[in-house]
Structure 1
Amino acid sequence: MKKVVLIALGVLLSVAGAIWTLQGLGYLEGSSMTGSSFWAIVGPIVAAMGVSLLYVTIRGPKQR
């Protein structure tokens, strides 16, 4: 159950980060975030956190 929650959180962070990046760069319009350099910087950071969470969760603990 914990693994499913972490995977869902990783996907959510990745998607949110991608959307924020696209809005910050001006590719997605219709928001106060459009064209804001703040979101163009924060978006990739959040997306990278989501991808990292997915990687660690799916890979699992190292076997020694």
Structure 2
Amino acid sequence: MRGWFRLTLGLLAVVLGALWTVLGLGYVEGSVLSDERSWVYVGVALILIGLAGLWWGMRARRR
């Protein structure tokens, strides 16, 4: 069970960050976040944090 929580949080962060990035770029309409450039930066930062979490979780699983 080692690392599963980190992997899950990392994957969730990557998916949520990708969603916020797509919304910020204006590809999806009908949201408060649509076409707001600040959400692009927040989304990319969250993707990077999620990738670090995935890496950390994979590292814990290998031990």
The runs of at least 4 aligned residues of structure 1 exceeding 6 Å deviation read none
2:57 pairs with 1:54:
no
Counterparts of 2:59 and 2:46 in 1: how far apart (Å)? 20
**For structure 1, which runs of at least 5 residues remain unmatched after alignment?**
none
Q: Which residue of 1 aligns with 2:7?
A: 7
Counterparts of 2:11 and 2:34 in 1: how far apart (Å)? 22
Aligned residues, how many?
62
Counterparts of 1:28 and 1:7 in 2: how far apart (Å)? 27
Q: CA deviation at 1:27?
A: 0.9
Q: Deviations over 1:3-35 (max 9, x none)?
A: 111111000000000000000000122210000
Higher percent of residues as helix: 2
Q: CA deviation at 1:2?
A: 4.5
CA-based RMSD of the aligned residues comes to 1.8
What TM-score, normalized to structure 1?
Answer: 0.85
Verify the 8 A CA contact 2:14 2:51 in the aligned structure 1: yes
